[in-house]
Structure 1
Amino acid sequence: MLDAAVHCFWSRGYEATSVRDLIESTGLTGASIYNAFGDKRAFYRKALAHYVQGSIADRIRRCEGMAPRAAIGAFFAEILTRSLSDEEHKGCMLVNAALEVTPLDAAFNGDVADVLARIEAFFLGRVAAGQADGTITSSLTAEDLARHLLGVLMGVRVLARVRPERATLEGVIGGAFALLDGGADRAA
């Protein structure tokens, strides 16, 4: 039921999704939705949390145990695959929520900011470990590189909605990896 709600909100967006859409996609009655979640907003928050757990948190868990550079590579390889195989060009539900809902809702803003902080913390941990083992440059601070990787991730997921072209997305990601290596000359 939550998977169906995620797909409904993700493909239409929060504002364009009606309670009727949710009834049709989940098979729940309107009364069941209101009894279980209170309202559409609360249902959306629950669906977004479900998406984060099944997608972002799961990806972080799988990558955390890898070698630092491999972890970042695997993370972005999965993002690239998801972005290129998304025939509906939905992008990332978290990014969509950040753009559509958080400017108007402080609670959603907090939810999204918390997830972005978790992603940044994953990058920071992997970059710091890579700097310690010499596989990632120390020419920039681990914090700056982690912030840059977060920005690259957000950019790739936004580009995937409007320009889901392999060369474009790989170029953006490749530039980030050149930076991890200490610059474009070393990456070549």
Structure 2
Amino acid sequence: MARPREFDEGAVLDAAVHCFWSRGYEATSVRDLIESTGLTGASIYNAFGDKRAFYRKALAHYVQESIADRIRRCEGMEPRAAIGAFFAEILKRSLSDPDHKGCMLVNAALEVAPHDTEFNDEVAGVLALIEAFFLGRVAAGQADGTITATLAAEDLARHLLGVLMGVRVLARVRPERAMLEGVISGAFALLDGGADRAA
């Protein structure tokens, strides 16, 4: 019979997320994880596997606690307000991070996914989830008249995904309010039909 774990898995994963997120996958050592989580190397291996498996578990925890949670909270709002709230939270997180860590998912996409097919598929799946959220809100907004219908909902959703990725990368090197707000406001002008008026 397996012994019950003598630690809070959620707290350990939170610590692992912070460690991997701050240092990056390659630069994080098992010793760093031991110091961050308070577990022994043997306990980490028995509970989570090797470093790669632990990173995979930490990334999934990050996605559930951050990205999936944000989508759940925003899905119940009016379409245009949902997209606004989503980006408002991204802006707040980007500007309030003194370490300029960016987004752990985006970091994984740049550092790990290009060299690891399994991680590539997982990151792509989360990006598809975000895109689906944008698509659902855009389509609903086009139906109720709060978002322009002159552009395909699919194209607007993809554009919003691209803006999100750009904001999170910019936040790592230029976490300036005017810069990030400018990128986001351009996307909202497109949702509101700004491109049509300019044309």
Indicate conservation of the 8 Å contact 1:69/1:130, yes or no. yes
Q: 1:85 aligns with which of 96, 101, 104?
A: 96
Q: Give the match for residue 12 of structure 1.
A: 23
TM-score (norm 2): 0.92
1:47-86 matches, within 5 Å, as 47-86=58-97
Q: 1:40 aligns with which of 34, 42, 51?
A: 51
Separation of aligned partners in 2, 1:151 and 1:185: 20
CA RMSD in angstroms, aligned pairs only: 1.1
Could you tell which deviates more after superposition, 99-108 or 31-40?
31-40
Say whether 1:143 aligns with 2:154.
Answer: yes
- CA drift at 1:38: 1.6
Separation of aligned partners in 2, 1:28 and 1:98: 28
- CA drift at 1:160: 0.2
Q: 1:167 aligns with which of 167, 172, 178?
A: 178
Could you tell which deviates more after superposition, 43-52 or 175-184?
175-184
- CA drift at 1:186: 5.2
Q: Give the match for residue 127 of structure 1.
A: 138
Deviations, residues 50-89 of structure 1 (Å, cap 9, x unaligned): 0000000000000000000000000000000000000000
Q: 1:108 aligns with which of 110, 114, 119?
A: 119
Indicate conservation of the 8 Å contact 1:178/1:186, yes or no. no
Say whether 1:26 aligns with 2:37.
Answer: yes
Separation of aligned partners in 1, 2:56 and 2:196: 45
Separation of aligned partners in 1, 2:122 and 2:96: 27
TM-score (norm 1): 0.98
Separation of aligned partners in 2, 1:186 and 1:136: 14
> Alignment partner of 2:81: what SS?
helix
Separation of aligned partners in 2, 1:66 and 1:186: 27
- CA drift at 1:184: 5.1
- CA drift at 1:33: 1.1
- CA drift at 1:37: 1.6
Separation of aligned partners in 1, 2:116 and 2:45: 20
Which protein is bigger by CA-based radius of gyration? 2
Separation of aligned partners in 2, 1:58 and 1:37: 23
Percentage of identical aligned residues? 90
Deviations, residues 148-182 of structure 1 (Å, cap 9, x unaligned): 00000000000000000000000000000000011
Over 3 Å off, 4+ runs: 184-187
